[in-house]
Every structure is written in structure tokens, then in C-alpha cells.
Amino acid sequence: MPEKKQSAWRFLWRSEDIRKKLLISLALLMLFRIAANVPVPGIDREALAVFASQQGGTGFLGFLNMLSGGTIQNFSLLSMGVYPYITAQIIIQLLVPIIPALQRKMQEDQREGRRWMEKWTYYLAVPMAMLSAIGQINIFNSLAGTPIVDFGFTGEIWLPSLMVLLVMTAGTMFAIWIGELISEYGIRGQGLSLVIFAGIVSQIPLNIQTLLLDQQNRWVLLTAMVIVIVVTVLAIVYVQQGRRNVPIMYPQKSQIFYAIQRGKSVRMPQPTLPLMVNLSGMIPLIFASAILQFPAIISSYFAGNNTEWVRNIAISIQSFFNPTGVNSWGYWVLYFIMVVSFTYFYTTVIFEQQNYGDNLKRSGAQIPGVHGGAATQKYLSRIQSRITLPGALLLGAVAIMPFLLQLILPAASSSAGIFLLSSSGLLIVVGVVRDTFMNIEAELKLHGYQEKLLVS
């Protein structure tokens, strides 16, 4: 009888080591979600409930609430999640090509350079968490119109304010610590991603319940939500799998190739450098949302000004930058342009740090017809810029999905935040599931559970 191959995934639970890592990851994620329900001490819960009902699920705060798994809406200790760490990581990455000394440090020894970046990312995450906490409290208090948290470093409230600041910063560092524990003892290298993933997935039952409460349009909205999920997943997977294989040539291997080809007529595979389509995750969406939120926040301070023309300008700015307003098309057009622009900017910065030109030159490899070093890097950058276009357009389309659905389906206007979760959140969900799948598959192969070795 022919040998029947069995998938290595059937041994996922049988492998004691892998089973232990999965259980540790699940336990730590459960601990994180329990801690996410602990509110900041001293908040006015009634004022917070009124503010949350007014804001709904749209805008930058709704976007951050979606990413944090509902912790912002509850003003939790973990309301900032791990994003101060991600912000610090982005800042360090952007500083490397700007400061020559840092660029040389990364080029001389990439392993030591990565350790240096990780160390200083942790150091920078603490002040970033403090600044984020202060900004979040001030934004909530200014948009709510009434203090949700009495915050300030003057008078009698300075000590409670300091406590709130320290508690929120500690909550962020606790979330980062949970992520690092998952990466070390659970699923390798996926800790922070799984923390964000758990927060987004935790909002799905609540959003489905919200859709079901709409007695008039619930089946239409549920159908639209399923279509959005299916189409977005297929588009993300299709674009993420896109690559451009750039042929490269090694001098020694090419001599062997020609020798074998002349003697035995054997064709050897052409080595290639695969350049993947980089979606840049949620970073362009976060950047664009944050920048577009600032004009509305600043104008809110002048909306009640006694001078009529100042008040009118402030109200006009608030109306223009309101994603749920009557004339919201301007906001969404700017949002699309900024997401596409930030995708190109961030991808270019990260790609330049890889320094493919010098790395290929050191290994003796060369792209046929292209000089080594700087010329190779310029050639590869041009290719990467071209293949970034579908990823940037996909991110832009996902970003304005709520607006497009409102044009196609007016009934979706009241559920724009839910469709924002269905589209934007899926970028993270699909990416994390894909990376986790590949990580677990690598672990199975590492333990010898390879499909072609498992026969009955």
C-alpha cells in the first residue's frame, strides 16, 4: 500500500514542550485580560459613561479603544496597552538613519545593534508611557467637558495625580512584561502581537451584540460585516503573499554552475532575493489618525470663544475633522492620502536599515547588470517602492472602509466603529494569526514533526 502522509499539526498537542508553551501563552493572555478590567483609581464613572456614549465607536479615541480591547472606554490601568513601547520602538528606528553614529553601529554588528535598540526602547517606553497617560487624561477631560479624572500638579490634587500617573505607567509596563513573558516562555517572538490580538478579539462579541440590538437593520448589517471580514481577509492574505524575486549571482556558485552545465547538462536553481509586500501593520493608520485628531482637539478649546469669527472657525474645523459629520468626505480623503503616504515613508525607512546593498557586497553576491554597494541598494529600493503600492492602497482602502460603507449602505452609519474593527482590526488579526501559524510550524519542524518524515 502507498505510504500515507500525516500532517505535523496532529502532533501539536502531543508534543509536551509545544503544549506547555501554548498553555503558558493562554494563561498569560487571560491574566492580561483580567487586569484590563481594573479601572484607574479616582475616575468619575458616570462622566466616563456619558462621554463614551457621546463618542461612540468612531474617531481616533474609538480607534484606540478598538486597538486596546475596550480598555480606553473603561479607563483601565492598561488603557495605553503596549503602544508606548511600540511608539518608542518607532522613534528609535527613525533615529537610526538620521544619526550617523547609530547607523554605523547597526551596520558594523547587527546583532549588537539590535540588542542596543531593544535596551533603549525599554528605557524610552517609560517616559513615553507617562506622556501618553498625561495626554490621554487631558484629551478625555477636554472632550468630555467635565473632568473625568481630577488631574494636575498644583494644589491638593498633585498627590492623587501623581498616583494616577504612576499607576497608568505601571499598567503599561505590566502589559509589556506580559508580552515579553509570552515571547520567552510561550509562543516565541509573538508576545506583544498576541497581547494586541487578544484585545481586538475580545471586542468581537460586544460588537455582534450591538449589531443584533438594531432591530430594523441587524440582518443587513450582519451580512455586511461578514462580507467585509471575508473580503478583507482575502485581500490581506493575497497582498501579504506578494513578492518580487530579484535574481542574484554568487561568483563561486556561477563557476560551478557553468562547469556542471557543460559536463552533465544539469540546471541549478537561480538564487533569488525575495522582496515582500510590506503592509507596515497598523502604524500608518495610527499615525494618520493621531495627526488628524489634533486639529479637532485644538479647536475644541476655542469653540466657546466670545469672538464670533474665532468661534466660527473653530466650529468649522471641528465639523471638517469629524469622521461622522455630514460633510465628512474631506476628513476621509485626507485620511486615505496620509495612510498611503505614511506607508511609503515607514516602509522606506525600515527597508533602508536592512542595507541589502552592502550585505550582498560583503557576501560576494551581485544582481546581474547592477553594480554592488550603493547602486544595488538604490535598485532594490526602487523595486520595493513599486511593490509597496498595492500594500499602501490596501491600507488606505481599509482605513476609509466605514466611509465607503456609509455611501453604499446608509444603515451602516450608526455602526461605523464596528466596521472599523472589522476592517482595521483584521489587519492585525490576520497578521498575528499568520505569524503565529508559521512560528508554531517552525517549532514542530524543530522537534522533528515534519510532514514528509511522518508516515504510517
* CATH code for position 244: 1.10.3370.10
* Rounded Cα–Cα distance for residues 397 and 415 (Å): 18
352 and 367 part of one domain: yes
In total, how many domains does the chain have? 2
Residue closest to 394 by CA, chosen among 352, 427, 433: 427
296 and 397 part of one domain: yes
Q: What is the pLDDT of residues 169-209, one digit of tens each?
A: 999 899 899 989 998 888 887 888 888 888 777 777 777 77
Inter-CA distances, 59 with 239, 251, 328, 399, Å = 27, 56, 11, 12
134 and 283 part of one domain: no
* Rounded Cα–Cα distance for residues 296 and 315 (Å): 9
Question: Residue 190, by phi and psi: left (phi above 0), alpha (psi -120 to 50) or beta?
Answer: alpha
198 and 259 part of one domain: no
Write down the pLDDT at residue 55.
58
Q: Cell for 236?
A: 490581506
Contact 388, 344 (CB under 8 A): yes
145 and 239 part of one domain: no
Write down the pLDDT at residue 330.
78
Contact 48, 213 (CB under 8 A): no
183 and 252 part of one domain: no
157 and 229 part of one domain: no
* Rounded Cα–Cα distance for residues 394 and 66 (Å): 20
* Rounded Cα–Cα distance for residues 202 and 195 (Å): 11
Give the residue ranges of the chain where pLDDT is below 70.
1-12, 52-70, 143-145, 210-211, 214-215, 217, 251-270, 278-282, 290, 297, 300-301, 303-304, 322-327, 409-426, 447-456
* Rounded Cα–Cα distance for residues 436 and 125 (Å): 25
Residue closest to 171 by CA, chosen among 240, 81, 238: 81
Residue closest to 429 by CA, chosen among 240, 176, 220: 240
197 and 338 part of one domain: no
Write down the pLDDT at residue 453.
42
16 and 97 part of one domain: yes
**C-alpha Rg value of the chain to the nearest Å:** 25
425 and 320 part of one domain: yes
Write down the pLDDT at residue 174.
92
What's the domain range around 95? 1-202
How many angstroms separate the most distant Cα atoms in the chain?
91
* Rounded Cα–Cα distance for residues 198 and 286 (Å): 18
